[in-house]
Amino acid sequence: MATSTTTSNKASDGSRPSFFGVRALALTAAMLVGYWLLISVEIDRVNPYQPFYENRISFYYSKIDTFSRITSLSQRMTLRHSYDYTVPKLVSERLRQGDVLLLPPAAYAEQVTRGNKVVWTDPRIFTYMVGRMPMVAWDDTARRSVANTAILLELNTFEIIRRGDAPQRYDSVVAAYAAATSGGPR
Amino acid sequence: MAALYPFVLTLVLQWLAGFGVMATLRSTLPRSIVAPIALLLGAFLETLVVVAVDRLGIGLSFTSVSLGMTLVVLATHARWSVVKSWYGTLVSSPSVSIRMYDVVAFIIAAYLVFVGMWAAYYWPVTPFDAMAGIDLMARQSVIDGTLNNSVLTDPALAGRLSNQPFYAPFAMLQQVIYRLMGWPFGQLWLPVMSFAFFWVMWALFRRYAHPFIADVLLLLLVMVPELHGYTYLLQTDFLNAVYVSIGVIILGLDIERRDNKNLVIAALFMAAGCWSRTETIAVIGLGMIASFPLLRNAVGMRKALSSIGVVIAASVTAFAIWHVWYFYGVFPVRPESGTEIVGFSIAKFTDVVSATFGDVIADMGLWGWTMPLFVLVLALSVLRNKSVGDRWLLVWTITILLALEIVGTLFASAVVGQTIRRGVFKLIPLMYLFMARSPVVSSLSAALQAWELGRGRNTASNQRKG
């Protein structure tokens, strides 16, 4: 950084602009007006700061009081991740000793979210949300036979289907998983 | 709030470790940036402590990591006579002149940073990459007490980990440190780092430009939409930008004085950059080569070569600890990174460059007015002052951009709209500092100071030079 000159912000004779001087006041007013214009004047493709402020800063700030009343970690996870948190949580609570869960393909889960993207079917996300547990990813064809528990998803609810308890229903759920994927059963 | 005391203790230890390193190395950095630089340095050192504790087979816990950090603090203060005299210089009476608009700018910036701080504290980890990668690793490392955790051997995840859990570990280790403190989502290190980073940038702007212009630049920097988002969203890129850009700036400050007294500190920051994103080693390598003529002109051939050697050695060490030692000596599995690399093709390079400029650089929704202002200031400097301005910052800005394009061409998984977009973070601080140091802003600063003092411009200018 050797090429440009250094500008000191104070005069070498010790004289400094007054804190409350008229010119200091004018510059302060200019800063406030400039800032206000940036965050409030909406000019598409010219002022990117207004939408930034509106969508992030102002939005969050206006919600801080409301959100601050919601202190439980679980509620905060639900607010943020919706079914990507609630489904793994509820499913994991209902699993029993010996259950090995077959995670459905995302395409199957997206049938009940009206096409909204689902990530909880990814074993990494399932593990992230509720911790490690016996499960098999849908595309893990080598280990699919190890699974003995599937999730039957319906709008706003789900059912745990165990192969040992209801083999035909289990097979039909797995068939529904296969049908939901574009490639069919693998 | 039980995590508050560990948080305060950790910050104190990080700060002391950073100060200790700077004192031992007899840092000559401007006093105005020493405190935030020390904090950032301490945060990096603590991640190395986590690795040391892990490799010594001591279970990861808040106590073990804090004790390790305490040893680092003691070790960095071992040469007490040197350290004491450095502290003495540091705390001698400061000469800060605060103006009314500084207070206003500070309040606005603090408000903007606070909102990000609150979001980082309140919201759970959100980005998919983080949940499937660095925070998945961090969470399990805290549960298992080791970085070589059971996520890596879980049959349910075998072959499905992808490369996210294996990202360069700085952000993951920060998550480990903050989760060990008891913060349920970690993440609070992000606002701590953004606070320190904006502090450094503000102090540097004030060093080169009139305080009013420095304040405006600070506010524009804080309000860069995309950058602000990542002061509370858990990813590796903001962290990477902070360390790489500050490393470049520290080297530049040395060159300004035609010495390399802060070389090791700069090298540590560059190493921290490689510790936060894998491809940074290529960015730093290219940057050091491209800036070599400027280094040589400033400090001579011998010191220039030693500078490159020290920076590259530190960066390679940081890279190797994770990508060689951990991948091949510790972890039972590793990503297939080799398959990610595809041959260089001019056609793809052209596509990547075109997409970068068309979809990323030109998008004001991402960078605010940064890009047009940068071009305007550069053009005005050339036309009006017959000077490009700060060549050091310009060379690094261009080289980092070029390196990102090469990475985007060579790596199959590098997506312009994601990888390069977030890689551009590294350019932003350099661009704003470039503007602060430009001849145009220098002239503007002189005019503004003359006006503010109610004197003729030449008088004020002469006074500053005096």
Residues of chain B predicted below pLDDT 70: 1, 456-466
Chain B partners of A48 at a C-beta cutoff of 8 Å? Answer: 225, 364-365, 367-369
Chain B partners of A35 at a C-beta cutoff of 8 Å? Answer: 108, 219
| Cα(B156)–Cα(B149) distance, integer angstroms | 14
Chain A, 155 to 184: residues with Cβ < 8 Å from chain B are: none
| Cα(B218)–Cα(B111) distance, integer angstroms | 13
- Cross-chain CB nearest to A80 (options B124, B228, B249): B124
Question: Which pLDDT belongs to residue B458?
Answer: 56
Q: Note the Cα B182 to chain centre separation in Å.
A: 25
In 10 A of CB A69, how many CB atoms? 6
**Nearest-neighbour CA in chain A from B72: distance (Å):** 32
**Does residue A5 have a pLDDT over 60?**
no
Question: Which pLDDT belongs to residue B335?
Answer: 87
Q: Please name the residue that has the structure tokens 């890279």.
A: B319
- Using the Cβ of B262 and the Cβ atoms of chain A, whether some distance falls under 8 Å is answered with no
Question: Which pLDDT belongs to residue A51?
Answer: 94
Question: Which pLDDT belongs to residue B43?
Answer: 98
C-beta atoms of A23 and B451 within 8 A: yes
Chain B partners of A4 at a C-beta cutoff of 8 Å? Answer: 208, 387, 389-390, 437-439, 442
Question: Which pLDDT belongs to residue A3?
Answer: 44
**Does residue A13 have a pLDDT over 50?**
no
Question: Which pLDDT belongs to residue A20?
Answer: 79
Of all residues in chain B, the one with the smallest CA distance to A125 is: B132
- Cross-chain CB nearest to A35 (options B108, B165, B258): B108
- Cross-chain CB nearest to B298 (options A2, A11, A137): A2
User: Per-residue b/e over B186-203, b at no fewer than 16 CB within 10 Å?
Assistant: bbbbbbbbbbbbbbbbbb
Question: Which pLDDT belongs to residue A74?
Answer: 94
C-beta atoms of A7 and B446 within 8 A: yes
Question: Which pLDDT belongs to residue B1?
Answer: 61
Question: Which pLDDT belongs to residue B170?
Answer: 97
Residue A155 and residue A167 in contact, taking contact as beta carbons nearer than 8 Å: no
In 10 A of CB A182, how many CB atoms? 7
Q: Please write the tens of the pLDDT for every residue from B75-122.
A: 999 999 999 999 998 888 777 788 899 999 999 999 999 999 999 999
Q: Please write the tens of the pLDDT for every residue from A154-186.
A: 988 999 999 999 999 999 999 999 999 865 444
C-beta atoms of B368 and A52 within 8 A: yes
Give first-to-last CA distance, chain B, whole Å: 53
- Using the Cβ of A92 and the Cβ atoms of chain B, whether some distance falls under 8 Å is answered with no
* pLDDT band, residue A65 (cuts 50/70/90): confident
Residue B193 and residue B175 in contact, taking contact as beta carbons nearer than 8 Å: no
Question: Which pLDDT belongs to residue B77?
Answer: 96
| Cα(B176)–Cα(B353) distance, integer angstroms | 37
Chain A, 31 to 50: residues with Cβ < 8 Å from chain B are: 31-32, 34-35, 38, 45, 48-49
**Nearest-neighbour CA in chain B from A49: distance (Å):** 6
